C-alpha cells in the first residue's frame, strides 16, 4: 500500500480577527501619511543607511567602521553648530599654557586649513593677540582681544624620520584627524565660531592657496620691510642671490643663556662649512651668538649679524627690540635663494622651515647629533 501526501490547503491570510480576550486586531500595514517627505523620516533614513554593515567583516574592520561612523557623526554635529574654526596665536591659553614659537603656530595653521578644506569648514588664522602682530601690516591700528578659554590641541603628529645623511623629515599620520575631531567636539562655541590653538603637522604638500593666505597674514609692516632692506644692504646681499645657513642650537642658550658648545655638533658644522662653494654668498642666522662668533671668525667669507633676538613663545617676557630683530630674521628667509638648516632637535626648526614653506624657498634641515 502506498501513501501519498496531499498538498497543504492554501489559506488566505487573516488580516483581522478577534483574540481570546474579545479584542479586535488587524495585520494590515497602513502607510504613514507623507512619511517619505517628513524631516523626521529623512533623518531616520539617513541614520539607518549609515548603520549599514557589510557581511563577513573581521573584528578589526568592524571596529574601524564603528570608529568611522562615530567621527562622521561628530563631524555632522560640528557642521551644524560651527561656521568658522580659528587658530589663535597669543602668549597664553587658559592662563597657564604658554604659546610655542611662531614657526610652530604657522605649521599648526597649515594643519587646520588642510583639515577644514577636507571637511568643508571655513577657517581663520588670528595672530592679532600676540605681540608680533605690531610688525604685521594686516593688524595695523587694531587692538588685541585676548581669549582666556582657548584650549590647546596637544597632539603634534610628530613622527620624525632622519635619513642616513641626517636630513630631517616628518612622516604624516592621518589618524590625528580623529583625535582633532574629538578635541573640537569638546570645545565651546561662540556665535558659531570655534577658537583653537594647534601646532600639529600638516601633510607634506602645502597647497598654493594656503601659502597665499599665510603670506597675506605675515606681510611685514612697512617699518619691518624697510629694516629688512637696510639689513640686506648693510650685509651686501641681493635678494634671491644668497644662501642662508640657519643654525637652531636650542633653547638652553636662547632662553637660559647657557653658552656651552658641544664638540660633536661643532665638528659636524665645521665639516659642512669646509666643503662650501666659495663662489656663492652665505648668510649665517642662529639663535646662539657664541657659536656665531666661533664660525664667523673661522669662516670670514660667511656674512652674519649679531642682533639680539627672542623666542616668540614659552612664556618669555618679550622685549620689543629683540622681537623686532626676530621678525627681521624671519623675513630674511623669504628673500634667500635657498636655506640650509641645522637643528639639535629631532623635529628640526620650525622658525626657518615654515617661513621657507610659506614663500616657496628650497629648504633642507640636518640633525645635529
Mind listing the pLDDT tens digit for each residue in 307-335?
Answer: 775 545 444 546 788 899 999 999 999 99
The pLDDT, as a whole number, for residue 256 is: 47
In angstroms, the Cα distances linking 106 to 112, 184, 352, 355 are: 10, 19, 11, 8
Asked whether the beta carbons of 295 and 269 are under 8 A apart, the reply is: yes
The pLDDT, as a whole number, for residue 279 is: 93
Hey, where are the domains in the chain?
56-198, 221-367
Strand partners for 282: 243
The pLDDT, as a whole number, for residue 289 is: 84
What percentage of residues in the chain have a pLDDT greater than 90?
A: 47
The pLDDT, as a whole number, for residue 22 is: 57
12-16, 48-52, 357-361: range with highest mean pLDDT:
357-361
In angstroms, the Cα distances linking 335 to 131, 232, 301, 309, 338 are: 24, 9, 20, 19, 9
Asked whether the beta carbons of 123 and 213 are under 8 A apart, the reply is: no
How sure is the predictor about 68, in pLDDT bands with cuts at 50, 70 and 90? confident
E-strand stretches of 45-162: 84-88, 92-93, 97-98, 122-126, 152-153, 160-162
Report the CATH fold assignment for 221-367: Rossmann fold (3.40.50)
DSSP string, 10-57: P-----EEE-TTS-EEE-PPPPPTTGGGSHHHHHHHHHHHHT---SS-
Count of residues in the chain: 369
Can you read off the three cell numbers belonging to residue 124?
581663520
Residue 214 has pLDDT above 60, yes or no: yes
Q: Please state, in angstroms and rounded to a whole number, the distance separating the CA atoms of residues 64 and 60.
A: 6
Residue 213 has pLDDT above 90, yes or no: yes
Residues 179-202: pLDDT tens digits?
999 999 999 998 889 999 999 999
Angle between helix axes 59-81 and 39-50 (nearest 10 degrees) is: 150
Asked whether the beta carbons of 220 and 335 are under 8 A apart, the reply is: no
How sure is the predictor about 146, in pLDDT bands with cuts at 50, 70 and 90? confident
Residue 221 or 368, more confident:
221
Q: Please state, in angstroms and rounded to a whole number, the distance separating the CA atoms of residues 369 and 223.
A: 39
In angstroms, the Cα distances linking 190 to 94, 181, 187, 233, 273 are: 16, 18, 10, 48, 53
How sure is the predictor about 36, in pLDDT bands with cuts at 50, 70 and 90? low
The greatest distance separating any two alpha carbons of the chain, rounded to the nearest whole angstrom, comes to 122
Asked whether the beta carbons of 246 and 341 are under 8 A apart, the reply is: yes
How sure is the predictor about 44, in pLDDT bands with cuts at 50, 70 and 90? very low
Q: What is the mean pLDDT of the chain?
A: 83
* Closest to 353 (Cα-Cα) out of 110, 107, 158: 107
Residue 162: phi and psi, rounded to 5, are -115, 120
How sure is the predictor about 96, in pLDDT bands with cuts at 50, 70 and 90? confident
Q: Please state, in angstroms and rounded to a whole number, the distance separating the CA atoms of residues 363 and 353.
A: 7
The pLDDT, as a whole number, for residue 122 is: 95
Summarize the confidence of residues 97-119 as an average pLDDT. 94
The pLDDT, as a whole number, for residue 315 is: 46
Amino acid at each position: 500500500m502506498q501513501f501519498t501526501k496531499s498538498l497543504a490547503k492554501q489559506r488566505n491570510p487573516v488580516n483581522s480577527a478577534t483574540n481570546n480576550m474579545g479584542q479586535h486586531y488587524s495585520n494590515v500595514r497602513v502607510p504613514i501619511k507623507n512619511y517619505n517627505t517628513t524631516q523626521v523620516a529623512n533623518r531616520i533614513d539617513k541614520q539607518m543607511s549609515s548603520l549599514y554593515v557589510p557581511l563577513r567583516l573581521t573584528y578589526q574592520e568592524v571596529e574601524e567602521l564603528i570608529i568611522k561612523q562615530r567621527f562622521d557623526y561628530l563631524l555632522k554635529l560640528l557642521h551644524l553648530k560651527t561656521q568658522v574654526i580659528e587658530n589663535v596665536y597669543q602668549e597664553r591659553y587658559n592662563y597657564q599654557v604658554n604659546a610655542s614659537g611662531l614657526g610652530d603656530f604657522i605649521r599648526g595653521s597649515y594643519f587646520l586649513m588642510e583639515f577644514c578644506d577636507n571637511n568643508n569648514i571655513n577657517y581663520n588664522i588670528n595672530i592679532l593677540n600676540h605681540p608680533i602682530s605690531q610688525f604685521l601690516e594686516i593688524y595695523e591700528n587694531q587692538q588685541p582681544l585676548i581669549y582666556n578659554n582657548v584650549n590647546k590641541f596637544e597632539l603634534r603628529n610628530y613622527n620624525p624620520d632622519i635619513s642616513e645623511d641626517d636630513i630631517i623629515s616628518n612622516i604624516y599620520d592621518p589618524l590625528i584627524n580623529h583625535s582633532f575631531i574629538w578635541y573640537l567636539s569638546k570645545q565651546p562655541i561662540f556665535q558659531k565660531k570655534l577658537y583653537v590653538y594647534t601646532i600639529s603637522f600638516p601633510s607634506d604638500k602645502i597647497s598654493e592657496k594656503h601659502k597665499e593666505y599665510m603670506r597675506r597674514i605675515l606681510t611685514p609692516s612697512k617699518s619691518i620691510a624697510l629694516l629688512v632692506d637696510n639689513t640686506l644692504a648693510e650685509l651686501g646681499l641681493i635678494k634671491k642671490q644668497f644662501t642662508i645657513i640657519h643654525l637652531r642650537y636650542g633653547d638652553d642658550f636662547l632662553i637660559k643663556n647657557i653658552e656651552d658648545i658641544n664638540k660633536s655638533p661643532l665638528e659636524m658644522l665645521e665639516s659642512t662649512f669646509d666643503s662650501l662653494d666659495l663662489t656663492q654668498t652665505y648668510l649665517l642666522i642662529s639663535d646662539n651668538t657664541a657659536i656665531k662668533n666661533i664660525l664667523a671668525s673661522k669662516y670670514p667669507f660667511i656674512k652674519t649679524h649679531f642682533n639680539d633676538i627672542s623666542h616668540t613663545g614659552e612664556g618669555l617676557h618679550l622685549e620689543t627690540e629683540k622681537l623686532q630683530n626676530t621678525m627681521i630674521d624671519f623675513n630674511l628667509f623669504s628673500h634667500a635663494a635657498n636655506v640650509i638648516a641645522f637643528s639639535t632637535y629631532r623635529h628640526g626648526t620650525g622658525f626657518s622651515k615654515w617661513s621657507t614653506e610659506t614663500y616657496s624657498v628650497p629648504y633642507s634641515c640636518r640633525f645635529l647629533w
